[in-house]
Amino acid sequence: MKSTDLGKALRELRLASGKEAKAVARSAAMSPSKLSKIENGHLAPSVIDVERILTALEVPDEVKAQLIETARVVATEATAWSIHRRAGLHKHQDEIRAIEATTGLLRIFQASCIPGLLQTPEYVRAVQQKSELSDDALEKMIGARMRRQEVLYDSSRRFHFIITESVLRWRLVRPPMMAAQLDRLAAMSRMLNISLGIVPLSAPMPELPTCSFVLFDTRLVIVEIPHAEITTREPKDVEQYVRKFDSFDRVALAGSEGRALIEGIRDEFLREQEIG
């Protein structure tokens, strides 16, 4: 099946459902014009696009599985960050938010920065300013990131974060702001539906932390590399990242031990502020 055939199939499913295009687009966290381009074969949908559309249409599981597999075959799995920036990073945040809303267990491994769901507004601003966004785009991005964090308070969902100790020490913001960011991490780690593990620098490294990635249940993984974001549903690929996540989880400090490490580094930043 070609992308044009896939778009036609999605359109036929929508018409059969009796749902208006605007309503489906809204539920799928995309613009009506984007949905129209997909349905008419003018835009090849990503795997994520297809999943959101099918979820909005409430199609049977077997139909959903078949079309998602088709999307995996025909879609471009790597999307350059430059494309996301041109389209608007806040829109990409909304797309990820839609996927998170249908995920029971979210597992995140981060070796470069604090995970987005746990970032303070000041930290978000510092990270995104390095992307050379306009002031308007930056504010929209911060707003979208903050809205994404609302999912953490849904007690029916579980979140498992693994962060390397180096991430806690990267000076992406001034010491008092880093202290506030680490305070947030410690506080969020006390929530019953959140597990936060820190891989200490003293631990034997199970493998190289070559990239950061997010696992959505066991159906999808999104991998971050410097120039692009890679999405895959290939079972063997997903399983590889599950194993990678588990290997770091085994050496991570969690609970009171993890909080002690976080709070110790926080205190270092606070003392630095007092000395300054």
Provide the pairing of β-strand 220-225 with 212-216. Answer: antiparallel
pLDDT at 230: 84
Contacts 24+ apart (CB under 8 A), 174-177: 175/269, 175/270, 175/272, 175/273, 175/276, 176/269, 176/270, 176/273, 177/120, 177/122, 177/123, 177/126
Rounded (10°) angle between helices 32-39 and 3-17: 120
The average pLDDT across 24-30 equals 91
Out of 78-92, 193-207, 248-262, pick the least confident.
78-92
The average pLDDT across 124-147 equals 83
Among candidate residues 24, 53, 76, the one where a domain is terminated: 76
Same domain, 83 and 29: no
The average pLDDT across 150-158 equals 94
CA distances from 240 to 55, 209, 232, 235 (A): 26, 14, 11, 9
Same domain, 99 and 165: yes
pLDDT at 68: 83
Per-residue model confidence as pLDDT tens digits over 48-98? 889 889 999 999 988 888 888 777 766 545 555 565 656 666 777 788 888
Could you tell me the pLDDT band of residue 276, with boundaries at 50, 70 and 90? low
The average pLDDT across 142-156 equals 91
- CATH number of the domain that 70 lies in? 1.10.260.40
Same domain, 232 and 250: yes
Beta bridge partners of 194: 159
87 versus 38: the higher-pLDDT residue is 38
Is the pLDDT at 156 greater than 60, yes or no?
yes
- CATH number of the domain that 242 lies in? 3.30.870
Which residues span the domain enclosing 205?
79-275
pLDDT at 6: 85
Q: Which amino acid is at 28?
A: A
Joined together, the tokens standing for residue 159 give 């979140």
CA 71-236-149 angle, to 5 degrees, is 70
Same domain, 99 and 219: yes
Per-residue model confidence as pLDDT tens digits over 232-251? 877 788 899 999 999 999 99
274 versus 145: the higher-pLDDT residue is 145
Same domain, 125 and 193: yes
> Hey, is 169 helix, strand or coil?
helix
CA distances from 214 to 60, 106, 193, 245 (A): 26, 7, 17, 9
The average pLDDT across 215-225 equals 89
Per-residue model confidence as pLDDT tens digits over 1-19? 555 688 889 999 999 999 9
Tell me phi and psi for residue 180, to 5 degrees: -65, -40
What's the number of domains the chain is made of? 2
The average pLDDT across 213-241 equals 86
Same domain, 172 and 232: yes
- Dihedral sign for Cα 184, 266, 173, 127, please: negative
Among candidate residues 76, 94, 129, the one where a domain is terminated: 76
Beta bridge partners of 195: 160
Q: In whole angstroms, what is the distance from residue 116 CA to residue 112 CA?
A: 11
Within 10 angstroms of residue 248's Cβ, the number of other Cβ atoms is 20
Same domain, 12 and 110: no
Is the pLDDT at 195 greater than 90, yes or no?
yes
Same domain, 215 and 260: yes
Among candidate residues 46, 76, 106, the one where a domain is terminated: 76
pLDDT at 41: 84
Provide the pairing of β-strand 158-164 with 78-80. Answer: unpaired
- Rounded to two decimals, the pTM is 0.73
pLDDT at 265: 97
Q: In whole angstroms, what is the distance from residue 276 CA to residue 267 CA?
A: 14
Per-residue model confidence as pLDDT tens digits over 102-134? 899 999 999 999 999 999 999 998 888 766 778
